[in-house]
Structure 1
Amino acid sequence: NADVILCTCVGAGDPRLSRFKFRTVLIDEATQATEPECMIPLVLGCKQAVLVGDHQQLGPVIMNKKAARAGLCQSLFERLVILGIRPIRLQVQYRMHPCLSEFPSNMFYEGSLQNGVTTQERLRKHVDFPWPSPETPMFFHSNFGQEEISSSGTSYLNRVEASNCEKVVTKFLKAGIYPAQIGIITPYEGQRSFIVSYMQLNGALRKDLYKEIEVASVDAFQGREKDYIILSCVRSNVHQGIGFLNDPRRLNVALTRARYGVVILGNPKVLSQHPLWYHLLEHYKDKKCLVDGALNNLKVSVIEYSRPRRAYRKDDKFRQGLAHQIDAREAFAKPPLASENRRGTRSYNPDFMRTHDPVGYIPSDMSSIPQSSQFSIPLLPTPNGPFTQDLSQSSVTSRKNSKQHQNSTYNGYSNSVSSQGPLTQNAFNSQGSMSLALSQSDRLRMMENSNSSLGHGSLMSQDSSIGYLDDYKSQGEDTILSQDFEIRSQSGYQSQSFTQY
């Protein structure tokens, strides 16, 4: 008797739910689900679907690289944004301190985020922590320890950053912060396991306090929050490679998990080689939050780092979706018109014939084509049939005039279609005047009906069957029947009725 059923996308395929019809389906964190996963609840009689998520954050986790390159890593939410469906953005954030939301808002959301909380509401005066600026609870601490390959051989760790993580955590605990309010984020599993073991062995306080502190990857923290976040970047090498730290969505998730304060540990000389991290360092430098030295004596860093060779550019496939987005208040005040959603992108042209559109009959005259449409029909391969001469002559004599060349090519092609098959002029006259050239399947259907009217025992003549097979052979690369099948079928056509075939 429940009105609402909560389950995962895969759980919606449970046989116990197969007899139910869900008219409205709401998918939370839709950007983390693959398209096949989203289709499971949508096929249960859905009339209205609401997808909630953020395509600027991490998408589905696809372990197979070939499947990811083939497009499985794209969520249904992301596809709809790219296609021009106007998303409704909730622009007011109630989680972060205003200074923490400034950089993500400017870099990932075009400066559109508004703060639903004030600075005073996100300031803990009783917490004795050495922030460089009391009004700005964040800092980037310069670490220059070298990265190492973990024992698994597939990940990285940084011992210096792990040691500094323990010191920052201990400082938070001494300031009165509960362990459950602290989170440590690192992009590498090797660093995550090393930090956990390091705090247990070298922690200055009781071991049970460090056990309650959550240390996890960026992916595990998506959709969650902590009062204080410590981000360990790990990467520090002479080659200045940062691995998948260059993913802007990963950085966006890491920077938007904290409510009261953020501490970043990393090597600015290495991270600055990526344009996005360079802008982050510049932001912290302008706020006087780029520091180094001992935790009890932090000083503004005077380190110099180079500008990256290329500028930061947001992925072009999202620019179109961002141009169509609307504010939530605008959406509820005046919903977008259905015609606007149906047209998709602004460059949609209803006269444009795409290759995947269904094509029915081919007009036999150019007058049936809308004058507003400009079709560009390529030259077809020269066939070896009885209509080769007409097509080749039309393509040679019309080189001087592009419009005449287009018309002659189209007429030659339509005439070639109407000339194929065993239908004679009498067959066309029996059907009346036809302004459209029939497709091959239609002509086969007409012949079947014609033979059926003569009786099931009537046979095709030998000349008709051989001529019909010759028409198939004259199609060149578009041959439908294989050569072996044609040879075997010559005798079959002479002994069987067309209806039986």
Structure 2
Amino acid sequence: MDRFNAQNTQDDFLEYSGGDTQASQYDYNEFSLDSTLNSQQTLDGSQSQFIEPDLTGVDEIDPFQDLTIVERELPDHACRYCGIHAVSSVARCVTCSKWFCNSRGNTSGSHIINHLVRAKHKEVALHPDSTLGETTLECYNCGCRNVFLLGFIPAKSDTVVVLLCRQPCAAMPSSKDMNWDTSQWLPLIDDRCFLPWLVKVPSEQEQLRARQITAHQINKLEELWKDNTEATLEDLEKPGIDDEPQPVLLRYEDAYQYQNIFGPLVKMEADYDKKLKESQTQDDIVVRWDIGLNQKRIAWFYLPKLESGEVRLAVGDELRLRYRGELHQSWECVGHVIKIPNNVSDEVGLELRRNDNTPVECTHNFSVDFVWKSTSFDRMQAAMKTFAVDETSVSGYIYHKLLGHEVDPQVLRTQMPKRFSAPNLPELNHSQVYAVKSVLQKPLSLIQGPPGTGKTVTSATIVYHLAKMNPGQVLVCAPSNVAVDQLTEKIHATGLKVVRLTAKSREALDSPVSFLTLHEQVHNNDTNVELQKLIQLKTEQEC
């Protein structure tokens, strides 16, 4: 349902339901013993008067004795964080089918919004017994279910509100209904909570009775749900859940201590990256089969998550295609991506490693898994192991510097250039000249500065002088491909011969320095006729 009748529900939106802890004949705010007795007398037909109750033994009652029972008997639609279960105050995450309330508790946002953000889920449904009924929130015009894009506008002639997504429906309403006043569009989420007429905020009494949960506990619980969807807060108390790795130190006794601290951290990062990669599996994929020029099977299909921007894909990435239907025995095969969506087609092309027993007669009931590669993490672990066991792996100066030891400063004897600014690069200022001069005389240097202060130009100038001072090659690295491209462009401007090395998965991506990449330089080298034929064959296959 995406159009809500507001005529009979306006009053209901303005009051919060109680905790369902009393008989139906009592008002939701009658929580005291006195008010309960008075209400009961009125219902019996007698005049309202105060009757002193018999409170013998009341002091012996433990008000918290049934707390564990209440916790254990919570309904399925209770908030998985705090336990609040008023049907008008909870909403269901469509992706994982867990229920959460619209209460903030001890966090900055409501529990349902906290979960959606941390789990990266976007679809929400209301409770069947709520005022608006079992409604999955979606755009009335296009069917978009991303609640972070949804808003509402009142219709001009009816007592209804219409849900529309921000773009493009709220900006350009179609002819589906021209009675919409799009200038009054407002988001469904305000101040990190759903609007109270949509999902009520629990009453103060309900929040006081609810389980108190901290943001730290929420983070831990969300992490547990990635491995065990039925995990509860009680599972956080189990041994090993809160075990933290050793903290990083400023100084290390030796390389073994360095490895013992950073090794587990790298493993944790690898485990998380693997879990994230494997969670991107997509089911119900429709496949179109083809054969490439090299006689290998090619599967063509669409990836909805790729179109929505939830996942990234590049040429050369490995995917696992699986079939679990009834028309063929279970089958799976790994292949590499040879085409990604472009202006011509939104299809993904996957070249399979083998052709045996491929279910080419089937087109439906396929699943696609993203294959995780541990190469970069394995290299980190191998480098730390070598650093620990091989004393000659790095120079003594770098060894002690990495461990944080005090090292006497060293000055390299070099012939300093007469002019520090490099050709075709901006003139250096005094601080940049000092930085270049300092780097050329030290075995290890660090240059820091805010954006726009010329660090890239300074780095390119340093590389230029290093290449001129030494006959060998200079290896330039950076933490991102964008940074490497910028450095490549600047260094090339100085007149040096530059070769940009890229991963195979990035060879199909355009960049301003594509002509300097290794594969492009090989491709443009026409001295080897046989190589040119092979390159042409590969290009025709990918087209």
TM-score with structure 2 setting the length: 0.19
- If asked which structure has higher relative contact order (CA below 8 Å, sep 6+), I would say 1
Pick the structure with greater CA Rg: 1
